[in-house]
């Protein structure tokens, strides 16, 4: 695997750990290119017995994955939609592939992750967040929709229905310590210790005797969200194609969404539009 193999990912491999850095300026939106690269990478690594752990981080210190690209069109998504597993939409397919990856997947969260980016974080096996720098939020409600990439199901499983509703409908950005307390991430770590902590954990897991990682992932089984993902897709699809939704997203883009300044307080930007 080389750094030139993917348009939006920098990939390296050492001692059983694949390090994947997301690099999609200006704010690391979860674009068609990112989703295409991630799915292709996960497919490639799934059959690579030399890799036991995959660590995801970001080339941008402020943004891990901002959110799904609001400018993506059905035509642009057509390639991904043509190769979907049964029972999931194009966004859910990313999370489900990540959840079912044979390797241990770890997110090193040192910036913001909203919407589809936050769904990516919760779909990974583990996530560790930098205190004072990381932020997580499901912002979709402020755009007139609900999460459509698995978030409603993954959050309910991990945090409980009450906290999932708070996150989805409250639509606030959650800091690392609160995310740890709620169970959204494994642990909040001082920012200057995040790299050392995650790299040590990933290295220790990769160095385990053969068969241990696979056995642990098989024993600590995934929950089947098939029915819930179908309900989520119905709920999302029933809102996303409304004219009001398009107007909200268009106004958001016109007022700074997907720019570095606008993304610093995207929640405030959309609340101002509604007010």
Domain ranges of the chain: 9-192+221-274
pLDDT at 125: 98
CA–CA–CA angle 103, 125, 79 (5° rounding): 75
Digitized pLDDT (tens) for each residue of the chain, 275 residues in all = 454 689 999 999 999 999 999 999 999 999 999 999 999 999 999 999 999 999 999 999 999 999 999 999 989 999 999 989 999 999 999 999 999 999 999 999 999 999 999 999 999 999 999 999 999 999 999 999 999 999 999 999 999 999 999 999 999 999 999 999 999 999 999 999 999 999 999 999 999 999 999 999 999 999 999 999 999 999 999 999 999 999 999 999 999 999 999 999 999 999 999 87
Residue 54 to residues 37, 91, 266: CA-CA distances in angstroms? Answer: 14, 20, 29
pLDDT at 83: 83
For the chain, state the CA radius of gyration.
Answer: 18
pLDDT at 27: 98
pLDDT at 274: 85
pTM of the model: 0.97
Terminal-residue alpha carbon distance, the chain: 49
CATH 3.90.226.10 correct for 9-192+221-274: yes
Among all chains, which residue has been given the structure tokens 């891990």? 64
User: Cβ distance 159 to 167 under 8 Å?
Assistant: yes
Residue 187 to residues 127, 164, 198: CA-CA distances in angstroms? Answer: 7, 18, 10
CA distance 169 to 6: 35
Helix and strand numbers, DSSP H then E, in the chain: 13, 10
Query: Would you state the structure tokens that stand for residue 228, as one six-digit string?
Result: 């819930």
Other C-beta atoms lying within 10 Å of the C-beta of residue 140: 28
Contacts 24+ apart (CB under 8 A), 262-268: 263/27, 263/62, 263/63, 263/66, 263/112, 264/62, 266/66, 266/67, 266/114, 266/139, 267/137, 267/139, 267/142, 267/171, 267/172, 267/173
CA–CA–CA angle 23, 249, 163 (5° rounding): 80
User: Cβ distance 184 to 158 under 8 Å?
Assistant: yes
pLDDT at 4: 63
């Amino acid at each position: 695997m080389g750094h030139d193999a993917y348009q939006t990912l920098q990939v390296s491999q050492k001692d059983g750990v694949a390090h994947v850095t997301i690099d999609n300026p200006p704010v690391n939106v979860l674009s068609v290119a990112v989703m295409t690269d991630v799915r292709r990478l996960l497919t490639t690594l799934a059959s690579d017995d030399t890799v036991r752990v995959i660590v995801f981080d970001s080339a941008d210190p402020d943004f891990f994955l901002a959110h799904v690209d609001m400018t993506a069109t059905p035509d642009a998504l057509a390639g991904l939609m043509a190769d979907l597993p049964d029972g999931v939409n194009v966004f859910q397919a990313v999370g489900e592939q990540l959840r079912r990856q044979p390797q241990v997947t770890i997110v090193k969260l040192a910036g913001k992750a909203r919407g589809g980016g936050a769904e990516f974080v919760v779909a990974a096996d583990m996530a560790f967040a930098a205190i004072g720098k990381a932020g997580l939020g499901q912002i979709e409600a402020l755009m007139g929709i609900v999460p459509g990439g698995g978030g409603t199901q993954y959050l309910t499983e991990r945090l409980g229905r009450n906290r999932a509703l708070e996150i989805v409908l409250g639509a606030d950005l959650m800091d690392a310590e609160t995310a740890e307390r709620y169970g959204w991430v494994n642990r909040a770590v001082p920012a200057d210790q995040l790299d050392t902590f995650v790299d040590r954990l990933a290295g220790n897991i990769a160095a385990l005797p053969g068969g241990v990682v696979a056995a642990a992932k098989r024993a600590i089984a995934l929950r089947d969200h098939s029915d819930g993902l179908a309900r989520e897709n119905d709920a999302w699809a029933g809102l996303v194609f409304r004219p009001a939704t398009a107007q909200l997203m268009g106004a958001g883009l016109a007022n700074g969404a997907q720019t570095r300044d606008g993304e610093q307080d995207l929640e405030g930007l959309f609340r101002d539009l509604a007010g």
